[in-house]
Amino acid sequence: MSPVQELLEKKYNSGFLNKSEKIIPVILFLMAAVSVLTTLGIVFTLVFETFTFFKTVSLTEFFTETNWYPFSASAASYGILPLVVGTLKVTFIASLSAIPVGLAVAIYLSEYASETTRKVMKPILEVLAGVPTIVYGFFALTFVTPQLRTIFPSIELFNAISPGIVVGIMITPMIVSLSEDALSSVPQSVRQGALALGATKWEVAWKVAVPAALSGILASIVLAVSRAIGETMIVSIAAGSTPSADLSLTSSLQTMTSYIVQVSTGDAGFGTTIYYSIYAVGFTLFLFTLVMNILAQRISKRFREEY
């Protein structure tokens, strides 16, 4: 062993460096354990309280009944279908408004925009992601809904279209950012090869870059839809609080998240069936988002292209 190696070995074995090397892995492990334990704690709480709810309400009633009247004094009904339908209606409208716009903007930024334009537009889009959702909610109620009612007078003050559009605006930056990253990761050599074969700029973008980045694009869409399903404040303010299993988009509705907000504000006492119902609804919402995230991972692996 050379003198330099001996000096380094001596410093390592007897100095602060040796102690820090032993302490740092422990600190990092504890930080990772906190994240895991927090997740397990949330899941355990949801499962435990949900089982408490199902001691009073049967699974058959919860998943098959079409009426949700938990506050009825004479005949309370806990069929979650109206809340699920309301959630899916808002999510459907949000997806219709966000996916085409988000994908178009991502293609423009990746394939057509200059570097200067990209540097200006991306931060502006990221500002949309930073706007508090309660601001989006009041924007939907006080601006979007009145504009829609001037065009379609039959639309009620609380409806599915207005919050759906605004939720779509909210999730658009997520689709743009993740899809643009996926498109930018496609090697330039692939584009240059297509151009050399006589393809137009649009053909390169749509028939070469998009299929090559399909994994990231689909994953971004699924994650954005999952975000729309779990949105709370926008639908609580602008969608109303009327559980309904019909497919009307112009009338008041209630989503799973808005019901949780309604009960959490003090409409039910601790330990009552209504109180425990928020955990059952929350667990159902958890399953929705879990499936969406698993689907995003499967899609990402299924369509991934490696260069």
Mark whether 266 and 118 lie in a shared domain: yes
Looking at the domain assignment, is residue 71 inside a domain? Answer: no
Residues 270 and 214 in one domain: yes
In this prediction, residue 175 carries a pLDDT of 92
Q: Pick 99 or 194 by higher pLDDT.
A: 99
Strand partners of residue 69: 77
Share of the chain above pLDDT 70, in %: 89
Structural domain boundaries enclosing 14: 3-55
pLDDT of residue 1: 57
- Determine the Cα–Cα distance for residues 182 and 174; give it in Å rounded to an integer: 12
pLDDT single digits (tens) 265-292? 766 677 678 888 889 988 998 888 888 8
Q: Sign of the C-alpha dihedral, residues 261, 263, 269, 272? A: negative
Do 206 and 280 share a structural domain?
Answer: yes
3-state DSSP call for residue 131?
coil
pLDDT band at residue 186 using 50, 70 and 90 as cut-offs: confident
User: Which pLDDT score is estimated for 200?
Assistant: 84
158 and 26 assigned to the same domain: no
**91 & 19 share domain:** no
Say if residue 181 is in the same domain as residue 272. yes
Residue 62 lies in a domain: no
The three-state secondary structure class of 78 is strand
Rounded to an integer, what distance in angstroms lies between the CA atom of residue 290 and that of residue 263?
A: 23
- pLDDT for 262: 83
- Domain assignment present for residue 249? The answer is yes
Say if residues 251 and 267 touch (Cβ distance below 8 Å). no
Going by pLDDT thresholds of 50, 70 and 90, the confidence category of residue 127 is: confident
Q: Where does the pLDDT of residue 5 fall: very low under 50, low under 70, confident under 90, or very high at 90 and above?
A: low
Q: Where are the alpha helices (DSSP H) in 15-75?
A: 16-54, 59-64
Q: Is 69 helix (H, G, I), strand (E, B) or coil?
A: strand
What is the pLDDT, as a whole number, of residue 68? 85
Residue 32 lies in a domain: yes
Number of domains present in the structure of the chain? 2
pLDDT score for 165 = 94
Q: Which spans in 145-272 are helix H?
A: 145-151, 161-184, 188-196, 201-204, 210-212, 214-229, 233-238, 256-262
Residue type, 197: L
Q: Are residues 154 and 295 in the same domain?
A: yes
Residue 118: Cβ-neighbour burial (10 angstroms; 0-12, 13-18, 19+): middle
Half-sphere exposure of 153 toward its Cβ, with a 13 Å CA cutoff? 0
pLDDT at 4: 56
Q: What is the mean pLDDT of the chain?
A: 84
Rounded CA separation 189/179 (Å): 19
Q: Residues 123, 266: one domain?
A: yes
User: pLDDT digits over 12-61, tens only?
Assistant: 555 555 666 678 788 888 888 888 888 888 888 888 888 888 888 888 88
Lowest mean per-residue pLDDT among 1-5, 87-91, 110-114, 266-270: 1-5
Looking at residue 253, the DSSP 8-state letter turns out to be -
| Share of residues in the chain with pLDDT > 90 (%) | 18
34 plus 122 within the same structural domain: no
Q: Is 64 inside a domain boundary?
A: no
CA 93 to CA 82: how far, in whole Å? 17
Same domain as 181, residue 37 = no
Element (H, E) at 126: helix 115-130
Give the pLDDT of residue 14: 55
Virtual torsion, Cα 138, 140, 146, 152, nearest 10 deg: -160
**CATH code, domain carrying 267:** 1.10.3720.10
Residues 287 and 148 reside in one and the same domain? yes
Q: In this structure, is residue 222 part of a structural domain?
A: yes
- 10 and 88 housed in the same domain: no
Using alpha carbons, select from 214, 231, 230 the residue that is nearest to residue 293: 230
Q: How far apart are the first and last CA of the chain?
A: 44
Q: What is the mean pLDDT of residues 175-199?
A: 86
| 284 occurs within a structural domain | yes
Please count the CA atoms within 13 angstroms of the CA of 145 that sit on its side-chain side: 24
| Type of residue numbered 99 | I
Least confidently predicted of 26-30, 85-89, 90-94, 264-268: 264-268
- The helices-and-strands tally (H runs, E runs) of the chain is 15, 2
CB atoms within 10 A of CB 145: 22
